[in-house]
Structure 1
């Protein structure tokens, strides 16, 4: 006879169901590989599951999972085999014309430029501009100082600007 699900298990299942896709998309923006994003998402939710009973503030779950995700990514990047392995090729050409094709092309160009940034800069930019965190929240998520967040963000934005110079921008389609 199957065991009845406890209230805590039910709460975790509901949270996982509601947030899994968003966490996975964030992981993809961070690493640029859907398979790796799945691994990072799994690591973040496993960490949450192991500490679920000790979570006092259910409103802080998103911040906790984001911290687990970013730290799992930064830890993973340090592994030697991760630096050598490339599981995806360049994205294919976008078929079609018009605005949707231009936006898709702009996103692919931006993602390719983002993948050329060092992992720490990419993580800072993801937290600051994709997750819309302030400097203090980003520093807490990454476990570093606010000065490090500011300098990494400035360097990352400068490098992105350099990489995207002359390219169609994602925002507004301007050149």
Structure 2
């Protein structure tokens, strides 16, 4: 687990993103039985597309943009499918491509905001937020105020349910950086939420 102690904010983030993960998983059909047959790109698309879209939504705050990021990730995977040594590694490739694509979107937004008045992004649908408690809504909103890397680490840890090593691989940083970033992110959330 990230961090040495479990603070109230960390429990809240874990509860909120875990709750979103559970809500999202409830809407999916059960995963297909694992067979000895080789995994195809079509199988991967069917199994992972919506998970990757939800991950991207949490990172970029816009469903249409998240769809575009994921489509680009699958397009890149298609172009490089023949070079993959192991089809099972494709999920990690996709996750990293979604994180990198989300970063690019956020950089472009930042540049665009320098030339236009800032606007409030439509983070999640009204129905999705209505299903969340007030505490969960506050956490999701507070995540939007974190710097990009801090937000990525918390979303990948508590929504993506990834280990520190998997987060480090997906974001291109060391495990130590993942730990310290998570710690700073939780402190920032605590200050933003006004809890102690």
For this structure pair, what is the TM-score category when the shorter chain's length is used for normalisation?
Answer: 0.7 to 0.9
Max Rg structure: 1
> Please, which of 119, 135, 150 is the counterpart of residue 179 of structure 2?
150
Task: Please give the alpha-carbon distance, in whole angstroms, between the structure 1 residues aligned to 2:100 and 2:123.
Answer: 26
Displacement, 1:112? Answer: 0.9
Displacement, 1:90? Answer: 7.4
TM-score, normalised to structure 1, is 0.74
2:62–2:124 contact (8 Å) kept in structure 1: no
Equivalences for residues 4-19 of structure 1 within 5 A: 11-19=40-48
Q: Cα distance 1:37–1:104, how it changes in 2: closer, same or farther (>3 A)?
A: farther
> Structure 1 stretches of 5 or more lacking a match?
1-7, 95-99, 167-175
Q: How many residues align?
A: 153
Task: Please give the alpha-carbon distance, in whole angstroms, between the structure 2 residues aligned to 1:14 and 1:90.
Answer: 29
How big is the alpha-carbon RMSD for the aligned residues of Structure 1 and Structure 2? 2.9
1:130 counterpart = 2:159: yes
Matched with 1:73 is 102
1:115 counterpart = 2:148: no
Q: Which structure is richer in relative contact order (CA contacts within 8 A, separation 6 or more)?
A: 2
Q: Cα distance 1:89–1:53, how it changes in 2: closer, same or farther (>3 A)?
A: closer
Equivalences for residues 67-106 of structure 1 within 5 A: 67-79=96-108, 80-81=111-112, 86=119, 88-89=121-122, 103-106=132-135
Matched with 2:77 is 48
Q: Cα distance 1:102–1:149, how it changes in 2: closer, same or farther (>3 A)?
A: same
Task: Please give the alpha-carbon distance, in whole angstroms, between the structure 2 residues aligned to 1:145 and 1:15.
Answer: 28
1:91–1:108 contact (8 Å) kept in structure 2: no
> Structure 2 stretches of 5 or more lacking a match?
1-37
Matched with 1:63 is 92
Q: Cα distance 1:93–1:21, how it changes in 2: closer, same or farther (>3 A)?
A: closer
